[in-house]
Structure 1
């Protein structure tokens, strides 16, 4: 199989992972709403969906249409970062449990989560998103997609994190970790 073919398999696997996330997100969002949850930041969500979908299609299109080669010194480290970003994302999902979803839904009375990666970072899932957005296209040397996604994602994350921080400020503080 060609390098572009292997890259296509990788992007398809990431796409399947995204579908699994959406299934879980939908189930968790329904649970949160049933607990009296309230959604915030609705305005930017459609743009986020479009941008993240465009990352996958853009990377594939660039690799195939521009006949991008696989460059081992770039591709292998970027693949390791893609795998690490997935691990961080699923650590976030596991830590948040039923409270994790792709939207900003706050359930009144539930405290902030302060365990897992949230002990170290306020928004670890967005670290995973940024890393993946750069690394996934660069596995296939799709540098234009990596650059465009990174710039647009930075603007979107500025809006997203502000909306999320405003919503999270409504929650009680996280309990202190037990030692």
Structure 2
């Protein structure tokens, strides 16, 4: 019985000492496009609600603190940074750094981020059409390499009965 108590105590201590490791919202990914100037893009994610979060975009540094009053259902606090308008398209790396409880700095990075025009197409299911299904699909697919700055993102069709902070699924394109 003594061993059970020791193991239970160790498990409880490890849970109470766990760190909120920072992460980006699930749809913020490498190779994405954010809206260019004059608009101000928002980068956000989850982390430890008691820690200062630092975001670096080139030589510009932004700081914020996660807000526990806006925690998700996993207990992760939400941090958010509104960037200054960016007119140069990039590509950029966006780094977010947050200290853990033990003082270790954790850095996460979004790579190859462009700033440009973002088009959101939504509607009924008849709005969906894969490139392979269009009239001149073979030609368009063979020419796709000529347009490396066009990026496609598709959110999965997964409804929820309750409000959610993130997408419930992302379709690989």
Q: Which has the higher helix share?
A: 1
| More RCO (CA 8 Å, sep 6+) | 1
The structure having more radius of gyration, on CA atoms, is: 2
TM interval, short-chain normalised: under 0.3
Question: What TM-score does the superposition give when structure 1 sets the normalisation length?
Answer: 0.22
Question: What TM-score does the superposition give when structure 2 sets the normalisation length?
Answer: 0.22
Q: Which has the higher strand share?
A: 2
